C-alpha cells in the first residue's frame, strides 16, 4: 500500500498551524499587558512602552490574518491539486508560445514564472498594507509608493536574470548526477552561495540602497581602533541610507578572509545617543566574528544542506510521492518542492535548534563586548534600539523560544548584569 504523502503533509500543516496560532495567542496576550516587565521599569519610558505596545498589537492582528490566508492558500493548492494543474497549463502555454514543451528546463521556467507571478499578486495587498498602513501609522515607513513598486520591479528583474541559469543547472545536475547526486547538488549550492555572498554587496545591494564611506571623525576613528585591536581586517566602512525606506536601524559586516567590510545604517547613527553606543553595537558584531559564530553557522548550514540533498536522492524517483500529489510524471523541480513539503516536520525541529544556538551566540557576543569594556554603552545601545524600533517589551517565553533567533531585551540585560556581578 502506497504511503499517503499528501494526507500526511496536509495533516502536519494543520497541526503546525494550530500550534503556532496557540503561540501567537500567547504572544498577543503578552502584548496586551499594561505594564513593563520589572527589569525595564525606569529604563524604558512609559511613552515609548505605549507606542511599542500599540505597534506590536497592530502587527499581531495583521499577522493572524496574513497567516490564516497564507496557510489556507497553501492547503488549498495541495488539496485541490493546483500544482499538477498548473504544470499542465505551463506546458500548454509553451505550445501556444511556440517553444519546446518537451524541454524540462523550459517547462520548469514557465511553471516557476507562473507561480512567482501568482505569489506576487496574492502577497501584494499584504505587503502594501504592512508598509503603507502599519509601518506608516507608527512612523517607520519612509518610502513612496513609487519606490515600493520600483524595488519590486528590480527584484523581479534580478530573479529573471539569476533564476533561469540556476534552475537549468540544478535540472542538469539531477538528470546526470548518478550515485553522487547529493554531493554534486551540495557543491553547486556551496559555490552559488559563495558567489552570491561576493556579488550581492557589490552589485546587487547598491541597486536598492546607497552606500557611502563613513565620514572622517571620532566615530570612524573609534571603530577602526576597535577593529585593529582585534586584528579584524577591516577594509571598508560604509553608511547605508536605510532611512529612505524605513526608520528601523541595523548594522552588519560581510566579506571573506582579509577583505572585511562593516555597514552602519544611517538610522543607527542617528538614534544612538553617542559614538560609544554605536561602537558597542559594532563590538557585539565583531564578537560574532572573533568567536567564529559566522563560520560555525555556515558549516552547520552546509552539513544540513548536504543531508537534505541526501534525503532528496532517496525519494526523487518515488512514483508514490509524485502520484500522491497528482503528478503522472516526475519533473526535477516538482520532486524538490514535494520533498520540501514531506520533510517540513524535520525542518521545524532544525529551525528551532538553530534558534537555540543563535540565542547562545548572541549572549556570547554580548559577553565579548562587555569584556572589551563596553557593558554600559552596550546596555544603553540595546535599550535605545529597542525603544526606537518599538520592539516588543513583553514577550511570552514559549513564543520567543520557538520564534526568536535573538534573546529578548530583558534576557540580554539580565545576562549582562550577571556578568557584571561575576566580575565584582
Query: Model confidence over 272-325: pLDDT tens digits?
Result: 778 899 999 999 999 999 999 988 999 999 999 999 999 999 888 889 999 999
List all residues 6 or more positions away from 201 whose beta carbon is below 8 Å from its beta carbon. 254, 255, 261, 263
Mean pLDDT along residues 358-362: 93
Cell reading at 216: 572622517
The answer on pLDDT for 76 being more than 70 is yes
Please state the length of the chain: 424
Query: Cα–Cα distance between 360 and 381 in angstroms, integer?
Result: 20
CB neighbourhood size of 354 (10 A) = 15
Residues 112 and 159: beta-carbon distance below 8 Å: no
The answer on pLDDT for 420 being more than 60 is no
Q: Tell me, what's the pLDDT at 257?
A: 66
Choosing from 266, 276, 366, 396, which is the catalytic residue? 366
List all residues 6 or more positions away from 415 whose beta carbon is below 8 Å from its beta carbon. 363, 366, 367, 407
Residue whose cell numbers read 546596555: 379
Query: Cα–Cα distance between 26 and 57 in angstroms, integer?
Result: 12
Query: Model confidence over 14-34: pLDDT tens digits?
Result: 999 999 999 999 999 999 999
Query: Model confidence over 214-244: pLDDT tens digits?
Result: 888 889 999 999 999 999 888 888 888 888 8
Cell reading at 49: 512602552
Query: Cα–Cα distance between 117 and 238 in angstroms, integer?
Result: 35
What's the angle, vertex CA 409, arms to CA 405 and CA 415, rounded to 5?
Answer: 95
The number of helices, as runs of H, and strands, as runs of E, in the chain is 17, 4
Query: Cα–Cα distance between 237 and 230 in angstroms, integer?
Result: 16
- pTM for this model (two decimals): 0.88
Query: Cα–Cα distance between 171 and 180 in angstroms, integer?
Result: 15
Query: Model confidence over 127-148: pLDDT tens digits?
Result: 999 999 999 999 888 889 999 9
Residues 288 and 361: beta-carbon distance below 8 Å: yes
332-342 and 104-129 helices, crossing angle to 10°: 50
Q: Tell me, what's the pLDDT at 262?
A: 87
Percent of the chain with pLDDT over 70: 98
34 phi and psi, to 5 degrees? -80, -5
Residue 206: helix, strand or coil by DSSP? helix
Q: Tell me, what's the pLDDT at 19?
A: 96
Query: Cα–Cα distance between 241 and 265 in angstroms, integer?
Result: 6
Query: Cα–Cα distance between 21 and 17 in angstroms, integer?
Result: 6
376 phi and psi, to 5 degrees? -70, -50
Cell reading at 12: 502536519
Q: Tell me, what's the pLDDT at 337?
A: 92
Query: Any catalytic annotation for residue 285?
Result: yes
pLDDT confidence tier of residue 39, bands split at 50, 70 and 90: confident
Nearest CA-CA partner of 13 in 79, 104, 96: 79
Cell reading at 204: 546587487
Q: Which residues are annotated as a binding site?
A: 284, 288, 362
Query: Cα–Cα distance between 323 and 329 in angstroms, integer?
Result: 8
Q: Tell me, what's the pLDDT at 86?
A: 93
Mean pLDDT, the chain, integer: 90
Query: Any catalytic annotation for residue 366?
Result: yes
Q: Tell me, what's the pLDDT at 160?
A: 93
Q: Which residues are annotated as a binding site for Zn(2+)?
A: 284, 288, 362
Amino acid at each position: 500500500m502506497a504511503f499517503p504523502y499528501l494526507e500526511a503533509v496536509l495533516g502536519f500543516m494543520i497541526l503546525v498551524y494550530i500550534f503556532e496560532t496557540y503561540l501567537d495567542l500567547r504572544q498577543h496576550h503578552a502584548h496586551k499587558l499594561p505594564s513593563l516587565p520589572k527589569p525595564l521599569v525606569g529604563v524604558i519610558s512609559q511613552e515609548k512602552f505605549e507606542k511599542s505596545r500599540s505597534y506590536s498589537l497592530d502587527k499581531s492582528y495583521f499577522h493572524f490574518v496574513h497567516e490564516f490566508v497564507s496557510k489556507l492558500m497553501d492547503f488549498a493548492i495541495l488539496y485541490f491539486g493546483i500544482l499538477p494543474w498548473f504544470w499542465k497549463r505551463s506546458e500548454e502555454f509553451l505550445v501556444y508560445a511556440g517553444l519546446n514543451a518537451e524541454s524540462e528546463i523550459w517547462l520548469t521556467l514557465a511553471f516557476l514564472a507562473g507561480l512567482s507571478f501568482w505569489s506576487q499578486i496574492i502577497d501584494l495587498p499584504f505587503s502594501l498594507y504592512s508598509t503603507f498602513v502599519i509601518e506608516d501609522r507608527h512612523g517607520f515607513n519612509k518610502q513612496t509608493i513609487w519606490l515600493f513598486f520600483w524595488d519590486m520591479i528590480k527584484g523581479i528583474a534580478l530573479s529573471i536574470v539569476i533564476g533561469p541559469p540556476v534552475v537549468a543547472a540544478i535540472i542538469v545536475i539531477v538528470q546526470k548526477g548518478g550515485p553522487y547526486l547529493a554531493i554534486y547538488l551540495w557543491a553547486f549550492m556551496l559555490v552559488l552561495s559563495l558567489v552570491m555572498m561576493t556579488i550581492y554587496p557589490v552589485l546587487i545591494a547598491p541597486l536598492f540602497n546607497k552606500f557611502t564611506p563613513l565620514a572622517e571623525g571620532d566615530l570612524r576613528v573609534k571603530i577602526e581602533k576597535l577593529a585593529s585591536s582585534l586584528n579584524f581586517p577591516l577594509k571598508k566602512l560604509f553608511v547605508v541610507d536605510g532611512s529612505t525606506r524605513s526608520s528601523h536601524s541595523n548594522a552588519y559586516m560581510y566579506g571573506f578572509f582579509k577583505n572585511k567590510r562593516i555597514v552602519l545604517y544611517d538610522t543607527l547613527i542617528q538614534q544612538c545617543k553617542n559614538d560609544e553606543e554605536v561602537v558597542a553595537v559594532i563590538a557585539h558584531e565583531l564578537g560574532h566574528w572573533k568567536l567564529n559564530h559566522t563560520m560555525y553557522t555556515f558549516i552547520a548550514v552546509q552539513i544540513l544542506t548536504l543531508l537534505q540533498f541526501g534525503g532528496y536522492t532517496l525519494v526523487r524517483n518515488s512514483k508514490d510521492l509524485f502520484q500522491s500529489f497528482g503528478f503522472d510524471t516526475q519533473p526535477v523541480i516538482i520532486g524538490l518542492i514535494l520533498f520540501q513539503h514531506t520533510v517540513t516536520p524535520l525542518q521545524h525541529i532544525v529551525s528551532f535548534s538553530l534558534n537555540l544556538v543563535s540565542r547562545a551566540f548572541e549572549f556570547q557576543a554580548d559577553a565579548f563586548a562587555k569584556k572589551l569594556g563596553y557593558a554600559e554603552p552596550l546596555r544603553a545601545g540595546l535599550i535605545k534600539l529597542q525603544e526606537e524600533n518599538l520592539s516588543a517589551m513583553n514577550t511570552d517565553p514559549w513564543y520567543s523560544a520557538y520564534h526568536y533567533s535573538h534573546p529578548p531585551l530583558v534576557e540580554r540585560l539580565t545576562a549582562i548584569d550577571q556578568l557584571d556581578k561575576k566580575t565584582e
